[in-house]
């Protein structure tokens, strides 16, 4: 199934670089103010919603209210979908499609069968799967004191690309990992798009992450650097401008 989400903004079409504001605010009216302030910014290509809005409003109501102020794609991060038994894949995908989201962020750490189920169900439901396996945290993998294998991301990507996935979440604060992943996907002949969280307080920069992802479409997922700014429109303009500049 062809991807139904172009990387678009109200001021441009087909952007290969940009930012995705993460709507991780406690007050939904404040979420709407953030969307209103940034939806017309060139380089804002989508919005990411997660538990803070969905547990308050429900998924369908969250989407309905955001759509009232913006036509940009909405990506749903289920914190993190995919770490579940395979039979839950079709259920989540059906509910997400019914609610009207455009894409699902999936962390299929449940194993290959869960990965296949969640990805396949997303595609069957007309949703765009965006697959990750690693958070931008120093103690996430075993080498950093965490619980997850160091090569988890490359293993997941190897399986996911075989299922038709070409969009992945990669920590922006690990440029070396970004470079490996970009080259891994490019070597398959696919046109990769990387969604890069970890900009700002977690240590990542747009410049370093985007340069490491040379050859791939790149979109920075940004939360606090925008929503905690005194002037959110100005912050979004600055960060989106930096992202677009990296594509020159």
Q: For the domain that residue 136 is a member of, what is the CATH number?
A: 3.20.20.70
Average the pLDDT over 158-183 and give the result: 94
At 214 the pLDDT is 93
Question: Is there a contact between 121 and 98 (Cβ–Cβ < 8 Å)?
Answer: no
Paired with 168 in beta bridges are: 131, 194
Mean pLDDT of 77-85: 89
235 in a domain, yes or no? yes
Give 181-208 pLDDT, tens digit per residue: 999 999 988 889 999 999 988 888 999 9
10 lies in some domain: no
Q: How many domains, the chain?
A: 1
Question: Cα torsion at 128, 174, 212, 204 (round to 10°)?
Answer: 90
Percent of the chain having pLDDT more than 70? 94
Q: Specify if 160 maps to a domain.
A: yes
Whether the predicted pLDDT of 104 surpasses 90: yes
- Answer whether residue 41 is part of any domain: yes
Tell me the average pLDDT across 58-84.
94
What is the pLDDT, as a whole number, of residue 8? 46
pLDDT value at residue 248: 46
Taking phi over 0 as left and psi of -120 to 50 as alpha, with beta for the rest, 73 belongs to beta
Note whether residue 3 is domain-resident.
Answer: no
Model confidence pLDDT, tens digit, residues 206-237: 999 999 999 999 999 999 999 999 999 999 99
Q: What is the mean pLDDT of residues 65-72?
A: 96
Res 14: pLDDT: 67
| Residue whose token pair is 């803070």 | 52
pLDDT value for 15: 85
Give the per-residue pLDDT at 247.
53
Query: What does the pLDDT look like over 136-147, one tens digit per residue?
Result: 999 999 999 999
- What pLDDT, on the 0 to 100 scale, is given for residue 148? 94
Q: pLDDT digit string (tens) for 1-38? A: 334 454 444 433 468 999 999 999 999 999 999 999 99
| Domain membership flag for residue 49 | yes
- Report yes or no: 167 and 196 within 8 Å, Cβ to Cβ: no
Q: Taking the CB of residue 141, how many other CB atoms lie within 10 A of it?
A: 21
How far apart, in whole angstroms, are the C-alpha atoms of residue 230 and residue 25?
A: 15
2 domain-assigned? no
- Quote the Cα angle for 10-15-21, to 5°: 65
Residue 5 lies in a domain: no
pTM equals 0.92
- Structural domain including 121 reads 17-246
Distance (Å, rounded) from C-alpha 103 to C-alpha 80?
Answer: 13
């Amino acid at each position: 199934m062809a991807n139904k989400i172009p990387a678009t903004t109200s001021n441009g079409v087909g952007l290969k670089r940009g930012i995705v504001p993460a709507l991780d605010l406690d007050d939904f009216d404040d979420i709407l103010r953030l969307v209103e302030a940034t939806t017309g910014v060139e380089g804002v290509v989508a919005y990411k919603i997660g538990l803070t809005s969905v547990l308050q409003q429900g998924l369908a109501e969250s989407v309905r209210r955001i759509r009232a102020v913006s036509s940009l794609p909405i990506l749903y991060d289920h914190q993190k979908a995919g770490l579940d038994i395979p039979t839950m894949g079709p259920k989540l995908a059906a509910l997400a499609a019914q609610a009207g989201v455009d894409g699902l962020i999936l962390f299929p750490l449940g194993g290959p069968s869960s990965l296949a189920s969640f990805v396949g169900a997303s595609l069957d439901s007309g949703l765009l799967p965006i697959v990750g396996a690693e958070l931008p945290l120093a103690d996430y993998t075993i080498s950093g004191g965490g619980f997850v294998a160091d090569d988890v991301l490359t293993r997941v990507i190897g399986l996911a690309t075989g299922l038709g996935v070409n969009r992945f979440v990669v920590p922006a604060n690990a440029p070396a990992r970004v470079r490996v992943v970009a080259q891994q996907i490019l070597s398959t002949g696919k046109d990769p798009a990387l969604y890069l969280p970890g900009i700002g307080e977690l240590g990542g920069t747009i410049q370093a992450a985007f340069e490491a992802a040379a050859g791939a479409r790149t979109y920075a997922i940004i939360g606090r650097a925008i929503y905690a700014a005194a002037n959110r429109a100005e912050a979004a303009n600055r960060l989106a401008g930096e992202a677009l500049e990296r594509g020159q």
